[in-house]
């Protein structure tokens, strides 16, 4: 007989659980941090308490329920290698009910969640940063490598005070060889000002792959963007966007450039788009930096310099 209900077994499928792995359950509505947390009937109340119990390098798992939101009262650094975080609930791509919020009175949480560990699996949850605080601008920052993200909604800039220059739903800062599958990056409920982006890439981020992901934006200004490379060394080698959808909510404010790429970049720094589509941007790369390549339209031609041209019907 299984130790867990079928819903929990389904969530744990594919997680590399070993003989010495521990599984901790978090239920903010019904849990108590004085519990051991290793039984689904006696969960912990906070993610921080569950993470504190985890031991690096033994494939421990934190499981979030979908009963109520899990509020972070302090910024969290997920810094234990091979430690996983998964949510229980309907596997929708947007605003999953296994969810993490920033406490409304918390300030300076930028990022709210840092993932500095490597070899971790993150699945089926929503992390939302939407408070009236201009010092909490980065929702999630990934600095580690070889992590796997599936069906995670990175929702930053959820308040007008945060949807400003320097804000990002997801930042890859030196991150390498991470994979994002069926994830949603961004929100379309708050007008994004100039410099607010879904994805910010910095620190020579490289060999990261986005597959089947949705980049969602509501531009309040043409200077917002889906993706920004911070500087001439913001990326290295390649980063791939495969079968991704980039949307800017139709408000009459088209993005000047879907991707913001600085001058001075060149080989071996490349962004590769395969079978992607966009809505609501004048061009993929308004500056044609010879960094962004794909297969959706002509790759060479007047004023293109190897960059992509948005397909228009």
* Each residue's pLDDT tens digit, 50-74: 999 999 999 999 999 988 889 999 9
* 201 has pLDDT over 70: yes
- Confidence category of residue 289, pLDDT binned at 50, 70, 90: confident
What pTM was estimated for this model as a whole? Answer: 0.93
Total length of the chain: 313
d(CA 258, CA 280): 8
d(CA 217, CA 203): 24
At 180-200, the pLDDT tens digits run 999 999 999 999 999 999 999
Are 139 and 156 spatial neighbours (Cβ–Cβ below 8 Å)? yes
At 68-95, the pLDDT tens digits run 889 999 999 999 999 999 999 889 999 9
Place of tokens 């220059």: 165
- Confidence category of residue 297, pLDDT binned at 50, 70, 90: low
Are 64 and 70 spatial neighbours (Cβ–Cβ below 8 Å)? yes
* 246 has pLDDT over 90: yes
d(CA 182, CA 210): 8
Cα–Cα distance list, 9 to 14, 18, 86, 178 (Å) = 10, 15, 12, 25
């Amino acid at each position: 007989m299984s130790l867990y209900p079928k819903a929990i077994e389904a969530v744990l499928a594919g997680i590399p659980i070993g003989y010495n792995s521990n599984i901790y359950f978090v239920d903010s509505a019904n849990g108590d941090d004085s519990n051991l947390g290793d039984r689904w009937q006696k969960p912990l109340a906070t993610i921080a308490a569950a993470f504190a119990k985890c031991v690096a390098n033994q494939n421990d798992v934190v499981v979030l329920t979908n009963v109520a939101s899990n509020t972070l009262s302090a910024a969290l650094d997920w810094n234990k290698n091979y430690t996983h975080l998964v949510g229980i609930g309907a596997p929708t791509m947007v605003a999953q009910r296994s969810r993490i919020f920033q406490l409304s009175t918390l300030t300076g949480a930028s990022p709210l969640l840092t993932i500095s560990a490597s070899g971790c699996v993150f699945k089926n949850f929503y992390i939302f940063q939407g408070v009236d605080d201009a010092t909490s601008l980065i929702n999630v920052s990934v600095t580690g490598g070889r992590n796997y993200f599936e069906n995670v909604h990175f929702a930053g800039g959820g308040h007008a005070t945060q949807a400003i220059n320097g804000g990002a739903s997801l930042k890859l800062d030196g991150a390498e060889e991470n994979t994002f599958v069926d994830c949603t990056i961004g929100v379309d409920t708050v007008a994004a000002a100039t410099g607010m982006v879904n994805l910010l890439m910095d620190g020579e981020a490289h060999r990261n792959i986005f597959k089947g992901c949705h980049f969602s934006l509501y531009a309040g200004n043409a200077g917002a963007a889906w993706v920004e490379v911070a500087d001439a060394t913001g990326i290295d080698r390649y980063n791939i966007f495969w079968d991704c959808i980039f949307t800017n909510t139709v408000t009459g404010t088209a993005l000047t450039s879907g991707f913001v790429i600085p001058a001075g970049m060149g080989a071996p720094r490349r962004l590769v788009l395969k079978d992607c589509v966009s809505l609501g941007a004048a061009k993929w790369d308004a500056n044609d930096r010879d960094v962004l390549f794909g297969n959706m339209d002509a790759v060479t031609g007047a004023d293109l310099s190897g960059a992509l041209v948005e397909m228009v019907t």
